[in-house]
Amino acid sequence: MADLWQNAMDHAVSAARHAGEVVREALRDDRKQTVMTKSSSVDLVTQTDQKVEKLIIQSVKEKFPTHSFIGEESVSAGEPLLLTDAPTWIIDPIDGTTNFVHTFPFIAVSIGFSVNKQMEFGVVYSCLEDKMYTARRGRGAFCNGEPLQVSHQEDINQSIIAAEFGSTRDAETVDKIFISLRRVLSLPVHGIRGAGTAAINMCLVASGCVEAYYEIGIHVWDVAAGSLIVSEAGGVLLDTDGGPADLMSRRIVAANRRIIAERLVKEIETFSPIRDDAA
């Protein structure tokens, strides 16, 4: 199957590049984007998200008609979110939709590919930076063809941590987010950052720019591709409860080293959003 998956990965790279052109074109367009909301008033979606997802899925279907899909906007439109053993494309057409709406310059197209529930390749295209991050299982991670390597730092006090706050705004959740932030900041760490896209945060871990990223509330399409890019760059993935990473749990810690991941987990006030695979 090796060559078949390489064909699929080559297709993912060209589909992500094309999607990036559509995103850049939409940002150049003077007409204002129509912004709609999904799970909450701050969970945004635009026609460009929907258009890009359709373009990617259509092009994949033409080449790989038997493959399955999990796409952020298809699931929002009522398609089932089902990860089976089948070759499955896990797509976030615009990771960083809020950034896109506000022209904050970190926006990614994220395409993961899983077979037997194992990630085979991941492609994250940071479209405004023109950075194409890729990883294939067992073959390393790359940015624009250059190999990626996580940071060697083993001391969390010498680290930068990326964190995001998701789109849930109920008081209980916000309090937990603040408890975690306060603890992490007070360790102390050198700094806390957030690109506004899970996929790019994970690529920053893979690139060695930040030691770790954590978030509760993400979905499988936000982290599927990035998770392989992190692990192929030598990094570690955990659940925020300290257990093994589970792409359906909506909780992720991605770090350069296990020691950093485990130290971070101690500071995170974890909670359990409804799983992506809940019936």
User: Which residue positions form the known binding site for Mg(2+)?
Assistant: 72, 92, 94-95, 222
How many CA atoms lie less than 13 Å away from 57 in the CB half-sphere?
19
Which residues sit at the interface with ligand IPD, rule CB under 6 A?
72, 92, 95-97, 164, 166, 196-198, 215, 217-218, 222
Binding residues: 72, 92, 94-95, 222
DSSP state of 158: G
* 262 catalytic residue (yes or no): no
CA distances from 125 to 2, 92, 128, 149 (A): 23, 11, 9, 18
Q: Which is nearer to ligand IPD, 115 or 230 (CB)?
A: 230
Q: Of the candidates 28, 16, 5, which has an alpha carbon nearest to the alpha carbon of residue 59?
A: 16
Record the tokens describing residue 145, joined without a space.
């063809």
For 5, counting Cβ atoms within 10 Å of its Cβ (0-12 exposed, 13-18 middle, 19+ buried), the class is middle
User: Catalytic residue at 97?
Assistant: yes
- Which residue number places its CB atom closest to ligand IPD? 164
Q: Which of 70, 94, 111, 218 is catalytic?
A: 94
| Beta carbon nearer to ligand IPD, 52 or 115 | 52
Tokens of 208: 């060695």
From the list 49, 53, 73, 95, the catalytic residue is 95
- Which residue, among 221, 231, 10, 196, has the nearest Cα to 110 in the 3D structure? 221
Cα dihedral: 271, 246, 93, 194 (round 10): 50
Q: Which is nearer to ligand IPD, 87 or 96 (CB)?
A: 96
Query: Residues near 166 by Cβ (< 8 Å), separated by ≥ 6?
Result: 173, 177, 215, 216, 217, 218
Q: Is 3 an active-site residue?
A: no
- Whose Cβ is closer to ligand IPD: residue 60's or residue 225's? 225
194 and 171 Cβ atoms separated by less than 8 Å: no
94 in catalytic set: yes
Q: Which is nearer to ligand IPD, 159 or 197 (CB)?
A: 197
CB of 267 to ligand IPD, least distance (A): 18
Q: Is 85 a catalytic residue?
A: no
222 catalytic? Reply is yes
Please pick, among 46, 48, 97, 168, the residue that the annotation labels catalytic: 97
- Catalytic sites, residue numbers: 72, 92, 94-95, 97, 222
